[in-house]
Amino acid sequence: MAFEVMDYDVIIIGAGHAGCEAALAASKMGCKTLIFTLNVDTIALMPFNPSIGGPGKSHLVREIDALGGEMAKVADQTRMQIRYFDHSSCPSQKSILCQVDRISYQMEMRLRLERQENLDIKQAVIEEILVEDGKVTGIRTKNDAIYHSHVVVLATGTFMAAKISVGEVSLDAGRQGEMTTFSLSNSLSSLGLQFNRFQVVTSPRIHRRSVDFKKMTAIEGEYDNLDFSSYSDSNHIPQVPVYLAHMPQNTVDIMNRHVKASLFYRSFIKNIKSYADDVHFYSDIFRKDIVDCSILIEPDGLKTDECYIRGLHNALPPKIQLELLQSIPGFEKVEMTRAGYGIEFDILDPTQLNHTLETKLIKGLFTAGQINGTSGYEEAAAQGLIAGINSASFVKCLEPLKLDSYDSYIGVMIDDLITKGIPNYYVTESNSASHESKLKINNTISFLGDKGYRYGLRVYNDSMEGGNKYNG
């Protein structure tokens, strides 16, 4: 028997990178906001690599900061290393990459949510979006609690009707074996929304004591005066190195020999012929190195010895994943703590959205993040911020924020999603914007700062864009 609980101005479903930005924006704009997550302990979890930024993506992070979002500040506060990339004469190619402490990032973002006025956090499974006459009226939880609201932001990431697989084993589960739900996509489909299936693969993780780092190249961070956020002060950086390891041809041969021993590849990635094809799926700052067969060993945090392996994405049987790892110099005695896995899930066809990220079909229903077919924390956070601002604008009858593809990479991303849809998945790259030379990581405030002030999310501060050595 359903029971009614409480009314909110804005309800956010999902506390990943999209949901966190959406909730903070809506509540800071004065809306009584409620954010749901399947598990409070996984707020702002990074299921993939422990880093933020890189080409294209660092534009998004700086734009989030210019509009008054949180990702840049939290990344600065929890980082273990920061680097500046200046590989090209083209200004748009310059980028920043932060290695963050995965757990500290989660805890810091969670604390910001917990301490935010107007914002409540609840752990519950949402099964149904309630709609009357084409307008959102609320949501229903698995326990039949009903929360009323005229605005709902869906930011459910990789969880809807999700299946994970490793080798021949496949089960209904979200990332890292978390809970999944089929009811929510059924509820949305019955309202007339169209979905596609989507897949991503992640890499194994290892214990650092089992690695011979002498056989690898250490990559150190930049030491002075480099921050993501215009509000940050870079004095505290610990600067832990990451390591580059060469992947010999033998590793690629093992991968190619066993590629069909994975249910994931057989079922979902129809055209894949070899591992070399697979690596081309991934847009990455180390793309060149990965294609040239190198991998990156990224420490997960200051209080753990687990490391993430970037560039070895696969869903092969664990025994073969170990064989792959052991074929890499420095990994002869490696201990694999977690195997890589593949996940497939429902995503919304984003051509059903308008520029505000509200669905065209249902008034008051906004969607943001990986549910819209993007991949990446930065893409998710950027959309979450826009959906949060626009959901609060909806409640307060303010003019919505529609970013132009000429003033931001966020605008380019949203325009691409809603006009072109997603043949594969969408990842922002430095050449995503056709007029890329105009949009730099050091001029985001001049393009977007006023918009941040207008919605009350950005406060004036002295540092602006001039306070950072690497801004020029």
Ligand X SMILES: Cc1cc2nc3c(=O)[nH]c(=O)nc-3n(C[C@H](O)[C@H](O)[C@H](O)COP(=O)(O)OP(=O)(O)OC[C@H]3O[C@@H](n4cnc5c(N)ncnc54)[C@H](O)[C@@H]3O)c2cc1C
Longest dimension (CA), the chain: 65
Per CB under 6 A, which region of 11-19, 72-80, 217-225, 436-444 contacts ligand X?
11-19
Residue 316 as a binder of ligand X (CB under 6 A): the answer is no
DSSP letter for each residue of 130-178: EEETTEEEEEEETT-EEEE-S-EEE--TT-BT-EEEETTEEEE--GGG-
Residue 55 as a binder of ligand X (CB under 6 A): the answer is no
Residue 262 as a binder of ligand X (CB under 6 A): the answer is no
Can you read off the two tokens belonging to residue 462?
């002295």
Residue 259 as a binder of ligand X (CB under 6 A): the answer is no
Residue 411 as a binder of ligand X (CB under 6 A): the answer is no
Which residue, 57 or 62, has its beta carbon nearer to ligand X?
57
Residue 200 as a binder of ligand X (CB under 6 A): the answer is yes
Each residue 352-371 as x (binds ligand X by CB under 6 A) or -, in order, gives -----------------xx-
Which residue, 36 or 275, has its beta carbon nearer to ligand X?
36
Residue choice 229, 359, 367, 375 for contact with ligand X (CB under 6 A): 375
Per CB under 6 A, which region of 1-9, 32-40, 190-198, 355-363 contacts ligand X?
32-40
CB of 437 to ligand X, least distance (A): 24
DSSP letter for each residue of 280-306: TT---TTHHHHHTTEEEEEE--TT--E
Q: State the number of binding residues for ligand X (CB under 6 A).
A: 35
Helix, strand, coil percentages (3-state) for the chain, rounded to 5, are 35, 25, 40
33-37 and 119-123 beta bridge pairing: parallel
Indicate the helix (H) or strand (E) that contains 93: none
Phi and psi at residue 128, in whole multiples of 5°?
Answer: -150, 140
Q: How far is CA 331 from CA 178, 213, 423, in A?
A: 29, 9, 37
Residue choice 265, 275, 331, 377 for contact with ligand X (CB under 6 A): 377
Residue 175 as a binder of ligand X (CB under 6 A): the answer is yes
Residue choice 27, 37, 99, 367 for contact with ligand X (CB under 6 A): 37
- CA-to-CA distance for 277 and 305, rounded, in angstroms? 31
CA dihedral sign of residues 206, 377, 65, 112: negative
Per CB under 6 A, which region of 3-11, 36-44, 230-238, 405-413 contacts ligand X?
36-44
Residue choice 24, 25, 38, 188 for contact with ligand X (CB under 6 A): 38
152-154 and 10-13 beta bridge pairing: parallel
- CA-to-CA distance for 62 and 71, rounded, in angstroms? 9
Each residue 129-158 as x (binds ligand X by CB under 6 A) or -, in order, gives --------------------------xxxx
Residue 290 as a binder of ligand X (CB under 6 A): the answer is no
CB of 236 to ligand X, least distance (A): 26
Residue 16 as a binder of ligand X (CB under 6 A): the answer is yes
- CA-to-CA distance for 183 and 35, rounded, in angstroms? 19
CB of 286 to ligand X, least distance (A): 12
Residue 19 as a binder of ligand X (CB under 6 A): the answer is yes
Helices 71-78 and 377-396, interaxial angle, to 10°?
140
Residue 13 as a binder of ligand X (CB under 6 A): the answer is yes
Please say whether the beta carbons of 441 and 94 come within 8 A: yes
Helices 377-396 and 17-28, interaxial angle, to 10°?
30
- Binding-site ranges for ligand X (CB under 6 A): 13-19, 36-39, 42, 47-48, 125-126, 155-159, 175, 181, 184, 200, 202, 282, 343, 369-370, 375-377, 380, 427
